[in-house]
A and B are shown apart, each in its own frame.
Chain A
Amino acid sequence: MASDLRTAEGVRPSELVVVPLRHPWRWVSGAVILLVIAGIGWAMAEARIQWEDVPGFFTHPAMLEGVVNTIVLAVAAQGGAIVLGVVIALMRLSANPVARWFAVGYIWLFRGLPVLLQILIWFNLALVFQNITIPMLFSVPTNVVMTAFVAALLGLGLNESAYMAEIVRAGLSSVDSGQTEAAKSIGMTPMTTLRRVVLPQAMRVIIPPTGNNFINMIKGTSMASVIAFLELIHAANNISSRNLEIMETLFAAAAWYLVMVSLASIGQHYLERAYGPR
C-alpha cells in the first residue's frame, strides 16, 4: 500500500521537507555591483563639478542650436543613406553585371574609409576642384557649395549608404522566392511586387539594424565638429571656451545625446511593432 512507503531513513514521502536551492553568490555579486555604483555616485558628488550649472547649459540657446543642427544632420544623412542604400542594393542584386560590380565597388570604398577622413576630404574638395561642373547643366565654385553642413552630410551619408545597401540587400534576400512567384502569378509587375510584397516583408529584417545605425548616426554627427559645423559637441565647446566649465557643458551635451538616442530607440520599437510578425 502507498501509505506504507518509507524512504531509506524511514520517513513517509508526504512528510519529506523540500529545501529550495540557495543562491548565495547572487547576493554577493549583487552587493558588489551596488557597492561599485555607490562608489561612483559618491565620487561624482565629491568631484569638482558645478552640478547646479549643468541644467543651465542643457537649455543654453547655443546648446539648443547644436541639438537642432545635430538632429537635422543625422536625419538628413540617414534619410539620404536609406534612399541611396535601396538603389545600391537593387544594383547589387541586378542582372546587369556592370551594375553589380559598381555596387560592390561602392560598398567597398565608402564602407572602407573612416567617416572622419571622408568628411575631411569632402570639406577640402575645393583645394583640388575649383568648380563643380556638369557640362551644359551648371558650374558652381566648390567652396560655395561645400559648406560644413554639406561636407558632413556627404561624409556621414555616403558611408552610411554603404551599410544601408548591405542591410537592404539582406532584407530583400530574406523574402522567400515563392512570394515573388505568387505576386507574378497574379500579374504583378516587378515594381508593384517590390512595393506591395517584397519590401513590406523585408522591413522586418531591415528595421532593427537600421535603428542601430541611426543611433550610431546621431552620435557620429559629432565628427562634424572637426570642420566647425555647429553640432552638439561644437556648441558645447563654444560655451565652455567662454566660461571654462568644460566638464559641465560636456555633461549637458551628454544628457542631450542620451535624450535623442532614447527617443530614437522608442521610435524603433514602434516601427518594429508596426512591421512585426503576424
Chain B
Amino acid sequence: MALVEAIGVRKSFGHTEVLKGIDLEVERGEVVCLLGPSGAGKSTFLRCVNHLETIDAGRIWVDGVPVGFRSAGGKLYELREREAAHQRRDVGMVFQRFNLFPHRTALENVMEGPVQVLGRGRAEVRAEAVALLERVGLAEKAGAYPGQLSGGQQQRVAIARALAMKPKLMLFDEPTSALDPELVGEVLDVMTSLARDGMTMIVVTHEIGFARSVADRVAFLVDGAVVETGTPADVLDNPQQPRTQQFLAKVL
C-alpha cells in the first residue's frame, strides 16, 4: 500500500465544492508536487491529508490508517479532536505563512512538539533540536525569536519544527509564496536536501523549477480534480490536457 492513498476526496465550503473527487497515491520516499491555478483546491487537499479540514466524501489513508477515523469491526468511527491530534504526530506540515510560535525562540519552537506532545526529556530533545537547526543552516539563530528572523529563516525553522516530530510524511503548503524572491532559494535548498534524504513529501507550489528538478511526480489540479499526473518531464514538457497546457504556457 502506498504511504498516502486518497480516493474520491470531496470537500465543500458552504455551497462551493472545492474538491470534486481527488484520487492520489504517494509512495514511500516519493516527492509529489501539486501544481495548478489558484483556487484549484491544492491547499485544501493538503489540509485534508492532515485532517485540518474534514472531508465530506471519499477517504484518505496515511500509512494504512484512515485519516480522521478509527476503523474497528468493519466500521469507521470519527475521531475526537485529541485522537486526531495523535494521528497528526506522524505528519509534518509547513505553512505558507510559517506560523512559528512568536513567543518562543527558534530552538523552543523546534523543541515544543517532542517535549509537549511526545513528553520526551528536554535534554535529549534539545540536542536533536540543535542538530535540526544546524541541518537547516540556522544553528547560530537558536536563541532568536521569530520576529527577529527573515521570512526565509522563519520558514527553515518551521521545517525544523515539523521534522522534530520525526514524521513519516511532510506536507508543504506553498512554502515559498510569502517570501521575498531572494529568500526563496534557501528554503527550496532545504527541501531539496530533505527529498534527497528520502523523505516522503507532498508539496503545493508555484515553483515549476523546483517541481522539475526535485519531484518524482507532479499532479496537476484544476477545479478540484486531478487532470493530469506523471513525471515532471511528461507533465511539464509534454502536457496532454488543454488546461495543463494553458497553465504552463502562462507560468513557463
A: residues with CB less than 8 A from B are: 176, 178-179, 181-192, 196-197, 200-201, 275, 277-278
The complex places the Cα of A176 from the Cα of B52 at a distance, in Å, of: 15
The complex places the Cα of A185 from the Cα of B85 at a distance, in Å, of: 8
The complex places the Cα of A183 from the Cα of B50 at a distance, in Å, of: 12
The complex places the Cα of A178 from the Cα of B161 at a distance, in Å, of: 15
CB-nearest residue of chain B relative to A275? B103
The complex places the Cα of A258 from the Cα of B148 at a distance, in Å, of: 40
Contact A278 B95 (CB under 8 A): no
Contact A187 B95 (CB under 8 A): no
Closest CB of chain A to B222's CB: distance in Å? 26
The complex places the Cα of A178 from the Cα of B82 at a distance, in Å, of: 18
Given contacts A178-B95, A186-B165, A278-B145, 9 further A-B contacts (CB under 8 A): A178-B99, A185-B88, A186-B92, A187-B85, A187-B88, A187-B89, A187-B118, A200-B103, A278-B103
Asked if B196 is at the interface of the complex by the 8 Å CB criterion, the answer is: no
Q: Identify which of B109-117, B225-233, B234-242 touches chain A.
A: B109-117
CB-nearest residue of chain B relative to A276? B103
Taking CB atoms and an 8 Å cut-off, the chain B residues in 85-105 that contact chain A are 85-86, 88-89, 91-93, 95, 97, 99-103
Closest CB of chain B to A274's CB: distance in Å? 11
Interface size class of B (residues with CB under 8 A): 20 to 34
Contact B52 A187 (CB under 8 A): no
The complex places the Cα of A200 from the Cα of B112 at a distance, in Å, of: 14
Known: A184-B52, A196-B112. A189 touches B85 (CB 8 A): yes
What residues on B are CB-neighbors of A197 within 8 Å?
A: 101
CB-nearest residue of chain B relative to A197? B101
24 contacts between A and B (CB under 8 A): A176-B99, A178-B99, A182-B95, A182-B99, A184-B50, A185-B92, A185-B93, A185-B95, A185-B162, A186-B89, A186-B92, A186-B112, A186-B162, A186-B164, A187-B117, A187-B118, A187-B165, A189-B81, A189-B117, A190-B81, A192-B116, A196-B116, A200-B103, A278-B102
Best-surrounded residue of A181, A186, A201, A275 (most CB of chain B within 10 A): A186
B: residues with CB less than 8 A from A are: 50, 52, 81-82, 85-86, 88-89, 91-93, 95, 97, 99-103, 112-113, 116-118, 145, 147-148, 158, 161-162, 164-165
Closest CB of chain B to A74's CB: distance in Å? 29
The tally of CB-CB contacts under 8 A between chains A and B is: 77
Contacting A186 at CB < 8 Å: which of B113, B145, B147? B113
Closest CB of chain A to B86's CB: distance in Å? 7
Known: A190-B81, A278-B145. A184 touches B88 (CB 8 A): yes
Known: A192-B116, A192-B117. A185 touches B52 (CB 8 A): yes
What residues on B are CB-neighbors of A191 within 8 Å?
A: 82
The complex places the Cα of A182 from the Cα of B171 at a distance, in Å, of: 12
The complex places the Cα of A275 from the Cα of B103 at a distance, in Å, of: 8
The complex places the Cα of A185 from the Cα of B102 at a distance, in Å, of: 16
Closest CB of chain A to B152's CB: distance in Å? 18
What residues on A are CB-neighbors of B92 within 8 Å?
A: 185-186
What residues on B are CB-neighbors of A178 within 8 Å?
A: 95, 97, 99
CB-nearest residue of chain A relative to B117? A187
CB-nearest residue of chain A relative to B110? A186
What residues on B are CB-neighbors of A278 within 8 Å?
A: 102-103, 145, 147-148
The complex places the Cα of A178 from the Cα of B154 at a distance, in Å, of: 14
CB-nearest residue of chain A relative to B90? A187
